[in-house]
Amino acid sequence: MERPAYLPDFENPPLTEVVLGVQFSPPNEYQQIYAWQVWDLYREKYSKVQEQPPLPPTFETFGIPRIMQPNIGFTNGPLHDRYWFLNEREDELIQFQQDRLLHNWRKAGDSSNDYPRFEKMIKNFEDELLKLEEYFHRVSQQNLNINQCELTYVNSIPLKQGQTEEGSKPENWVELLSVNKLQFEHFVSQYTKIIKANDQPVARLVCDCGTGFDQKRNPIIILNFTVKGPLPNNNGTISAAVKFLRDGRDTIVLSFDEITTEFAHKQWGKK
Amino acid sequence: MTRTTAFSPELESVMNFKVGPEVATSSTNSPVRRGNHNRQSNWYTMAFIKLNYLRNLESGWDGYRGKPVSEQNAYFALSMLTKICTDDTPAPHIIPGSGGDLQIEWHTTKGDIELNIIAPYKVNVWIDYKDHEEEIELTLGWNFDSIAEHVKKITE
Amino acid sequence: MKPPTSHDIYGNVIEYDHEEILNEHVVIRRISFEHLWNDNGVLRISSKAYKPSTGDGEGVSVDLKHLIEEAGIDPKIFGITSKFKGAVLLNVGDLRQLNLKVGYDPIKPPDPNPYHCQIWGINDKRARVLKSKAVWLVQYPNAEIQ
């Protein structure tokens, strides 16, 4: 499937990481000891493995508008680790735990690795999901029952390095940062937006925007977008998840284009 | 979902950012709460304690094949309650089902509300006002706008 | 009693109506502390106690009273422990009037229960009806039936 023509396109956007993810009901017969079998599904390309703490379940619900309460973990028995299956260059990885599969691309090493583009990532992720579903079917005669999808774009906008005076001002890149006239030392913000279909909430867009520093202590703007939500009609199939992620990509790209300035677009080679 | 990005530790530790949608991190990575909206409501604390307890039920807790409340159902219940309850809402009763599911209910002199969480995004709702003959029954997924008003009416 | 003959791929009994379980028979549903809610000091049984678990084809577990009696056990003692202090009775005729099926489903060791049955077909509405028809076999301390 080709990239929609109506989407803004940039030659070199400040993208540093993209994450595609699904959450599903843990299959009945699966246990953590089988995680190596899951790794086997992807090992040919993702030959390295790391263990990470598990991610708690997450759900997007709608009703009384309020900021979510802090996400405190329940204490209970055995927890399933989150495994990172990394490729050789460690710029792509698959994250797996008993109720999650995610695929990350990130800038790595000398950051010369190019973003493979969403169309390629979604195709690979769909294949990975199909492999996982086939495996779960062998283990527990169950299909993947996906209940939540998430797509995240992480952008890092350098402020000082190689920039003109104009380029060193945060408000010249992101309109939200026009509060810089207050001459803040540091700024952090988040907004959320309900995404609707037929006037009903179907997903949530979260935008994190603020200032920070990169590994070399150079000032940057962090601009992250996440679209997350359930699948329509509780249709927990892989094809429904792929559609959600495609729609999410559209929302993110349009939001990114909307919140950033013409100056920024010129720097990033907007087509 | 909390951000699942594979940032290098150095970059993440210097970012004064919310790691997830709910929690802000300082440069020392300790959680920092924002604003006065994050004050813990009484119902939230009670619900969390009860759900944590139900997550630790032993197998066969019901005398048959009962399982503890599943992790996903527990988190979903909390997420749902944040969209239904105001700070003044009394804590609900939370009853486990045999299969890891659960039911959230309020019973007052004005009526009864039962929210039967079959699975995340599948909630059977039953509302019975004492002064109305007609009961309300519906199934909800993720939009609990309509329920918040009923909970308020029955519990205030 | 004739054992069940049809099982799914997980070994669970597929729902059916057992011909030897008659309308005049009575089944016992154990009530756990977890099924109760506190109404200003009075414990009440939640309708959830009568609802099935969430898996496809799963029913509500009960014990067949006359089988327990035929084995020489007092039903008021069977299944009652420090954890399960209460039990209610449901009439099979009432269950079938609600178009429910009652099938024999003995549980094998290590925790055997040869008197175990399941009720299939309960939805939320029928569960509330069952709640209204249940009577105590062993009254849970400080609890009321409704």
- Quick check: B25 pLDDT over 60? no
- Quick check: A251 pLDDT over 70? yes
Subunit contact A214:B11, Cβ cutoff 8 A = yes
Please give the Cα distance from C34 to C52 (Å, whole number).
Answer: 15
Whether the CB-CB separation of A115 and A14 falls below 8 Å is answered with: no
Q: What would the mean pLDDT of A155-182 be, rounded to a whole number?
A: 81
Q: What would the mean pLDDT of B57-84 be, rounded to a whole number?
A: 93
B16 band by pLDDT with thresholds 50, 70 and 90? very low
- Which residues 6+ apart lie within 8 Å of A96 measured at CB? A35, A38, A39, A82, A83, A85, A102, A132
What is the least distance, in Å, from the CA of B39 to any CA of chain C? Answer: 27
**Average pLDDT over chain A, rounded to an integer:** 91
**pLDDT value of position A156:** 94
Does any domain span residue A152?
yes
Is B111 found in the same domain as B98? yes
A141-180: b (≥16 Cβ within 10 Å) or e: ebebbbbbbbbbbbbbbbbeeebeeebebbebbbebbeee
Among A41-55, A154-168, A200-214, the range scoring the smallest mean pLDDT is A154-168
Q: Does A271 touch chain B (CB under 8 A)?
A: no
- Quick check: B39 pLDDT over 70? no
Q: What would the mean pLDDT of A155-176 be, rounded to a whole number?
A: 82
Q: What would the mean pLDDT of B3-25 be, rounded to a whole number?
A: 32
Q: Which residue is closest to B39 within chain A, CA to CA?
A: A69
CA B112, chain centre distance (Å) = 18
**pLDDT value of position A218:** 87
Tokens describing residue A29: 């017969």
Does any domain span residue A71?
no
Q: What would the mean pLDDT of A180-206 be, rounded to a whole number?
A: 89
Does any domain span residue A226?
yes
Which residues, numbered 96 to 155 in chain B, qualify as contacts with chain A under a Cβ-Cβ cut-off of 8 Å? 119-122, 141-145, 147-148
Q: Report the number of distinct structural domains present in chain B.
A: 2
C84 band by pLDDT with thresholds 50, 70 and 90? confident
- Quick check: B34 pLDDT over 80? no
Nearest to A110 by CA among A85, A84, A92, A91: A91
Please give the Cα distance from C67 to C1 (Å, whole number).
Answer: 9
Q: Which of B93, B101, B137 sits opposite C53 (nearest CB)?
A: B101
CB atoms within 10 A of CB C142: 11
Is B76 found in the same domain as B134? yes
Nearest to A101 by CA among A202, A19, A203: A19
DSSP state of B88: T
Q: Between the ranges A70-74, A221-225, B64-68, where is the mean pLDDT highest?
A: A221-225
Percent of chain B with pLDDT over 70: 74
**pLDDT value of position A242:** 97
Q: What would the mean pLDDT of B99-124 be, rounded to a whole number?
A: 96
Residue type, B117: I
**pLDDT value of position B4:** 42
Nearest to A101 by CA among A25, A47, A17: A25
Please give the Cα distance from C55 to A27 (Å, whole number).
Answer: 12
- Quick check: A214 pLDDT over 90? no
What range defines the domain where residue B35 resides? Answer: 1-39
A52 band by pLDDT with thresholds 50, 70 and 90? very high
- Rounded to a whole number of angstroms, the distance between the first and last alpha carbons of chain A is 20
Is B27 found in the same domain as B99? no
Q: Report the number of distinct structural domains present in chain A.
A: 1
**pLDDT value of position B24:** 28
List the beta bridge partners of residue C62: C117
Strands C42-45 and C143-144: parallel
* Bigger pLDDT: C54 vs C18: C18
Kindly list the distances between the CA atom of residue A259 and the CA atoms of A174, A176, A254, B65, in Å, as whole numbers in the listed order.
6, 7, 9, 54
Is B44 found in the same domain as B34? no
**pLDDT value of position A161:** 56
What range defines the domain where residue A25 resides? Answer: 15-56+81-267
Subunit contact C125:B98, Cβ cutoff 8 A = no
| Number of cross-chain residue pairs from A and C with Cβ atoms under 8 Å apart | 3
Is B8 found in the same domain as B62? no
Alpha-carbon radius of gyration of chain B: 18
A265 band by pLDDT with thresholds 50, 70 and 90? very high
Is B134 found in the same domain as B76? yes
Q: What is the DSSP string of A41-81?
A: HHTTT--EEEEEPPPPP----BSS--PPPP-PPPP-S--PP
Does any domain span residue A194?
yes
Q: At what angle are helices B42-55 and B71-82 packed, to 10 degrees?
A: 170
Q: Pseudo-torsion of CA C97, C101, C106, C110, nearest 10°?
A: -100
Q: Does B140 touch chain C (CB under 8 A)?
A: no
pTM, two decimals, is 0.89
**pLDDT value of position C55:** 58
Q: What would the mean pLDDT of C22-49 be, rounded to a whole number?
A: 94
Q: What would the mean pLDDT of A113-141 be, rounded to a whole number?
A: 94
